[in-house]
Amino acid sequence: MTTTAPLTKPEIADAALQVTSYKHAALLQVQAAIVRVAMARQYVAPGDVPEAVAAPENRQGVTSNAWNVLRTARVLERLPMNCTIEELGIIGGRRRNPQPGAKGRWTAVYQLTCAAIARTWAARNGLNLQERGPVQATLDL
């Protein structure tokens, strides 16, 4: 899947650099939670990660930048807009966020690019992640 990495856009890159520089521990904590959930299931979206992972003052900027940085690092890839898996509630590569504060908004759905990349990212960041179970080899559209 070839998509433009989010950090090639200056407005996103600047925000990600600020969060990485000034809130690195909070960013790493959210990234680790995202990767742990992604290792446990085939598809992951913001509603799958508990809000409590980030302090309330960090939920907006740190959380959104965690997804962007993981995507740019090629740990995660976003499902394409033509991906619909009705039984999972995925429509156009997005699904509704079930968290009450999200008010049912649609959010992007991601999958690991490769489990080995996720394990390497985790190891280089001092984390120990469990291997996820068998996964579907291809994305049936």
Is 91 a domain residue?
A: yes
Is 2 a domain residue?
A: no
pLDDT tens for the chain, 141 residues long, are: 445 556 566 666 665 665 665 577 888 999 999 999 999 999 999 989 888 888 888 777 888 889 988 998 899 999 999 999 999 999 999 999 888 777 888 999 999 999 999 999 999 988 876 544 444 444 444
Is 139 a domain residue?
A: no
Crossing angle of the two packed helices 61-72 and 24-40, in degrees rounded to 10? 60
Instruction: Write the CB contacts of 89 (distance below 8 Å, at least 6 apart in sequence).
Output: 95, 96
Q: Which residue range is the domain that position 99 belongs to?
A: 7-124
- Going by the DSSP 8-state scheme, the letter that residue 8 receives in this structure is G
Report the C-alpha gap between 110 and 34 in whole angstroms: 10
Is 116 a domain residue?
A: yes
pTM of the model: 0.77
Is 51 a domain residue?
A: yes
pLDDT in the model for residue 1 = 47
Is 27 a domain residue?
A: yes
CATH number at residue 110: 1.10.10
pLDDT in the model for residue 2 = 46
Length in residues, the chain: 141
Q: What is the 3-state secondary structure (H, E, C) of 18-38?
A: HHHHHCHHHHHHHHHHHHHHH
- Dihedral angle of Cα 123, 127, 130, 131, to the nearest 10 degrees: -30
Number of domains in the chain: 1
Sort residue 127 into left (φ over 0), alpha (ψ -120 to 50) or beta: beta
Is 130 a domain residue?
A: no
pLDDT in the model for residue 135 = 41
Is 42 a domain residue?
A: yes
